[in-house]
């Protein structure tokens, strides 16, 4: 591997000059610059990034820690972040925390030790430990300690779902919430409830029931069965079930099928997230698409310009209307 020294010798200049053209420092005059570039091309010179890192105390790498990369939402986020980082010629170092606080800590520390440019973390559910570092640490989707959070506007997204169901004529609606310990779950529930309250009038009231659940598939199925069992005899079965996550919604779909309820004929169902599975199930799921590309762009901006960073930032998702909802 040729070094900067070889290039300098070949171009008959000092290493400082070579370094300056490398840094796109336009203090180097045209003829010299050309000579240096020719020498670099000829030798196939590539800067040694470790040496540069040692000098500048920073490398063109961004750390990303997620609870579990096999979660489709996090995978999509990782992909968008990698693309965004690449467009600024940075690489990304990936780490899984397995949703474990201790592992998360180890991973973040390891990343920091490598003097990355900054680290993005989707925190474990119960994470609240703040980290100190001389590079930006920003939380994504789920807050880490007291670090600024970039996330989807869950409140607004749920509101969009409420609007959608209301427009379709639904007036008896069940909402399956996520775990109350999670901020995301609370925001989604609050957004839904708030919007429904606004839409409900004495003349045209909406009956809303809230049901506690987990974010996963099985929980959706189970809670749906409970809801339908309670209302099996009467005609007071909800005409729509809004789930706090796509996985729950898919569980609902499954329960409905087992109970011979047609979706959306007998029951409208909505999710949240727009995981890839949402478009594959039968019927395809109406849901809120999380703006992963915008989230990625924003969070990377935070890394590069921490100064401009205000506090938290929420980005609205889009309603994706598919086949699991219909008008009454």
Partner DNA sequence: CTGAAAGCGCTTACAG
Residues that bind its own copies (CB under 8 A): 46, 48-51, 53-54, 57, 59, 61, 68-70, 72, 75-76, 78-79, 82-83, 86, 91-96, 107, 110-111, 113-115, 217, 250, 254, 257, 276-277, 280, 282
Q: Which does 14 bind (CB under 5 to 8 A by kind): its own copies, DNA, none?
A: DNA
> What is d(CA 286, CA 303) in angstroms, rounded to the nearest whole number?
34
- The closest of 159, 167, 160, 166 to 195, measured between CA atoms, is 159
| Window 4-43: contact mask with DNA (x via CB under 7 A) | xx------xxxxxxxxx-xx---xxx-xxx----------
> What is d(CA 176, CA 205) in angstroms, rounded to the nearest whole number?
20
> What is d(CA 166, CA 325) in angstroms, rounded to the nearest whole number?
11
* Closest CB to its own copies among residues 13, 295: 295
Asked if 229 is part of the footprint of DNA (rule: CB under 7 A), the reply reads no
| Window 138-177: contact mask with DNA (x via CB under 7 A) | ----------------------------------------
* Closest CB to DNA among residues 47, 72: 47
* Closest CB to its own copies among residues 105, 186: 105
- The closest of 140, 24, 19, 6 to 73, measured between CA atoms, is 140
Across 6-163, where does the E strand assignment appear?
Answer: 61-66, 91-96, 118-121, 137-140, 149-152
Q: Which does 282 bind (CB under 5 to 8 A by kind): its own copies, DNA, none?
A: its own copies
> What is d(CA 144, CA 311) in angstroms, rounded to the nearest whole number?
13
- Strands laid side by side in the 207-211 sheet: 207-211, 172-176, 240-243, 268-270
- The closest of 180, 134, 179, 127 to 149, measured between CA atoms, is 127
Query: Which residues in this chain contact DNA in the complex, by CB under 7 A?
Result: 1, 3-5, 12-20, 22-23, 27-29, 31-33, 45-48, 51-52, 54-57
């Amino acid at each position: 591997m040729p070094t900067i020294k070889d290039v300098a010798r070949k171009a008959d200049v000092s290493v400082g000059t070579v370094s300056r053209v490398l840094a796109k420092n336009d203090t180097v005059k045209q003829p010299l610059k050309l000579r240096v570039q020719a020498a670099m091309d000829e030798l196939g010179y590539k800067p040694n990034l470790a040496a540069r890192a040692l000098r500048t105390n920073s490398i063109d790498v961004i750390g990303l820690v997620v609870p579990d990369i096999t979660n489709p939402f996090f995978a999509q986020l990782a992909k968008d972040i990698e693309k965004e980082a690449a467009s600024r010629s940075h690489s990304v170092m990936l780490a899984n925390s397995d949703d474990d606080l201790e592992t998360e800590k180890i991973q973040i520390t390891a990343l920091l030790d490598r003097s990355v440019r900054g680290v993005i973390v989707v925190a474990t559910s119960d994470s609240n430990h703040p980290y100190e570092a001389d590079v930006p640490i920003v939380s994504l989707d789920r807050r880490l300690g007291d670090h600024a959070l970039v996330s989807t506007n869950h409140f607004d997204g749920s509101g969009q779902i409420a609007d959608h169901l209301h427009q379709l004529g639904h007036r008896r609606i069940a909402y399956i919430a996520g775990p109350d310990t999670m901020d995301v779950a609370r925001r989604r529930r609050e957004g839904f409830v708030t919007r429904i309250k606004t839409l409900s009038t004495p003349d045209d009231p909406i009956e809303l029931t809230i049901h506690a659940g987990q974010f996963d598939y099985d929980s959706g199925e189970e809670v749906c069965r409970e809801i339908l069992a309670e209302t099996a005899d009467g005609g007071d079965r909800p005409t729509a079930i809004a789930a706090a996550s796509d996985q729950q919604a898919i569980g609902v779909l499954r329960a409905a099928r087992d109970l011979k309820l047609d979706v959306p004929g007998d029951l409208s169902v909505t999710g949240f997230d727009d995981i890839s599975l949402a478009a594959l199930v039968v019927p395809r799921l109406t849901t809120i698409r999380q703006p992963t590309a915008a989230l990625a762009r924003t969070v990377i901006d935070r890394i590069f310009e921490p100064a401009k960073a205000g506090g938290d930032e929420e980005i609205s998702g889009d309603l994706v209307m598919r086949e699991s909802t219909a008008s009454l």
